[in-house]
């Protein structure tokens, strides 16, 4: 049997795919392939490469195309991947979502060969200050500065995900298979953007508001931190992200006026729909703003738990969960413009299965197999170097694309 050329097979791709599919050990993959573990170990260590026939079997076992293992990895840099997670989150779940975040980044960078996403509009509110030197008052000020920069005033934010996407964040979603994970965030050096992957598992609009704002806060406060930094100061980093997210969603003065001098569960329930956050998050914010003391907070949490709201709060099902729109809109416009067909994208651009792309981009299952809709005009960005890049064109106004894609759901 003829072997695939060693330099062409990328060992890191094998580990990435194994993590993404929650195949936690080399032994488990070897059993799927009916091989000795030593063969998988040598491939993953880069000591040898699979044969062409085995490469096909690898793709089938890991549900990726064989060319997935041959495509060079994008360089995203050594920045930390921030997880909004509970201490009970399992290592395999963290590894899976880290790998799937890399998949989102790869999909988005390919899409950006054809469509210019919104330029990043994220002010450096910390002005280079070390996160270790930040005080709560500083973080409260940063939240106000972000709101002012994005023209949000002191009013409640209807949809944080939409605010982030308009500001140049790339946001995607995934079924994480665990309630211990809420989201991830990572800065990519490939396109100098923050990427956020949000969990679908809890499926509450009000919870998603906080999850999204929390990941946004990491991008604002903790850009440039390494994995070692994250491990060394994990609790502080998480506390800061939650403080900024809370202050961003519930600005101190306006929120306090609505809460009043003696917050109650019934009172917080009344304003839940207005402030678009969970009651639990509002209790925490009341304590942070000294609207209640520690004993009052404990009592509210006890009442909250006794009502069974830890499982599901009132109104949680009243609002559809906010989905990211921009990557899906860009992909639809590439197809509906006639720039690339769906089959062409799957064959020549993406090495992941259609269902993974649909799931991560929050596109309806089966979209790739549906017949495309009406062809419309699309202006292309200027030529970019690299295989598969367009050869000419003009820059797209992405906001126009997003608006038009809401109508053209081909």
The pLDDT of residue 86 is 59
Among positive and negative, which fits the CA dihedral 108, 109, 113, 119? positive
Residue with token string 């009043």: 260
The helix or strand, by DSSP H or E, that contains position 188, with its residue range, turns out to be: strand 181-188
Give φ, ψ of 188 to 5 degrees: -100, 130
Task: Read off the pLDDT of residues 146-189 as tens digits, 9 standing for 90 and up.
Answer: 999 999 999 999 999 999 999 999 999 999 887 778 899 999 99
Contact between 378 and 333 under an 8 Å Cβ cutoff? The reply is yes
Quick one: pLDDT band at residue 88, thresholds 50, 70, 90? low
CA distance 331 to 110: 10
CA distance 346 to 240: 41
What Å distances lie between residue 11 and 8, 14, 59, 110, 327, CA to CA?
A: 10, 5, 14, 22, 29
What Å distances lie between residue 229 and 79, 83, 86, 182, CA to CA?
A: 10, 14, 19, 21
Task: Read off the pLDDT of residues 328-384 as tens digits, 9 standing for 90 and up.
Answer: 999 999 999 999 999 999 999 999 999 999 999 999 999 999 976 544 444 556 654
Stronger pLDDT, 81 or 372, i.e. the higher one: 81
Quick one: pLDDT band at residue 128, thresholds 50, 70, 90? confident
CA distance 8 to 55: 12
The pLDDT of residue 380 is 58
The pLDDT of residue 181 is 82
CA distance 360 to 160: 18
Among 340, 335, 253, 338, CA closest to 291: 253
The pLDDT of residue 117 is 95
The pLDDT of residue 179 is 75
The pLDDT of residue 387 is 43
Residues 6+ apart with CB under 8 A from 84: 181, 182, 183, 184, 211, 214, 215, 238, 241
Structure tokens that stand for 148 in this block? 């002012």
What Å distances lie between residue 350 and 50, 301, 388, CA to CA?
A: 22, 47, 11
The pLDDT of residue 381 is 64
The helix or strand, by DSSP H or E, that contains position 195, with its residue range, turns out to be: strand 193-199
Task: Read off the pLDDT of residues 270-316 as tens digits, 9 standing for 90 and up.
Answer: 999 999 999 999 999 999 999 999 999 999 999 999 999 999 999 99
Stronger pLDDT, 408 or 100, i.e. the higher one: 100
Domains within the chain, CATH numbers bracketed: 6-70 (1.10.260.40), 76-322 (no CATH), 326-407 (no CATH)
Quick one: pLDDT band at residue 247, thresholds 50, 70, 90? very high
């Amino acid at each position: 049997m003829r072997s695939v050329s060693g330099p062409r097979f990328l060992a890191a791709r094998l580990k990435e795919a194994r993590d993404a599919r929650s195949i936690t050990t080399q032994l488990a993959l070897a059993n799927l392939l009916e091989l000795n573990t030593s063969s998988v170990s040598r491939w993953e260590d880069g000591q040898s490469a699979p044969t062409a026939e085995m490469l096909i079997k690898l793709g089938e076992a890991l549900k990726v195309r064989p060319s997935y293992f041959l495509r060079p990895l994008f360089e995203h840099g050594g920045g930390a991947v921030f997880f909004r997670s509970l201490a009970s989150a399992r290592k395999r779940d963290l590894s899976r979502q880290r790998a799937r975040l890399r998949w989102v980044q790869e999909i988005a960078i390919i899409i950006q060969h054809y469509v210019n996403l919104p330029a990043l509009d994220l002010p450096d509110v910390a002005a280079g200050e070390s996160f270790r030197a930040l005080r709560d008052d500083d973080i409260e000020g940063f939240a106000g500065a972000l709101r002012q920069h994005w023209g949000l005033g002191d009013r409640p934010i209807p949809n944080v995900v939409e605010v982030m996407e308009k500001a140049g964040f790339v946001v995607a979603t995934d079924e994480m298979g665990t309630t211990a994970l809420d989201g991830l965030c990572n800065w990519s050096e490939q396109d100098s953007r923050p990427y956020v992957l949000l969990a679908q598992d809890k499926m509450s609009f009000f919870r998603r508001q906080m999850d999204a704002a929390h990941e946004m806060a990491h991008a604002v406060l903790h850009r440039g931190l390494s994995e070692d930094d994250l491990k060394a100061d994990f609790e502080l980093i998480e506390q800061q992200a939650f403080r900024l997210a809370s202050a961003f969603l519930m600005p101190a003065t306006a929120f306090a006026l609505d809460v009043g001098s003696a917050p109650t569960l019934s009172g917080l329930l009344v304003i839940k729909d207005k402030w678009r956050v969970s009651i639990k998050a509002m209790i925490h914010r009341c304590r942070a703003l000294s609207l209640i003391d520690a004993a009052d907070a404990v009592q509210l949490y006890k009442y909250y738990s006794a009502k069974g709201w830890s499982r599901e709060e009132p109104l949680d099902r009243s609002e559809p969960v906010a989905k990211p729109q921009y990557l899906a809109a860009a992909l639809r416009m590439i197809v509906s413009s006639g720039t690339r067909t769906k089959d062409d994208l799957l064959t020549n651009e993406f090495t992941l299965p259609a269902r993974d792309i649909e799931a991560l981009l929050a596109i309806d299952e089966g979209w790739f197999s549906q017949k495309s809709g009406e062809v419309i005009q699309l202006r292309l960005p200027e030529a970019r170097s690299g295989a598969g890049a367009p050869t000419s064109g003009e820059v797209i106004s992405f906001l126009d694309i997003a608006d038009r894609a809401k109508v053209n759901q081909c």
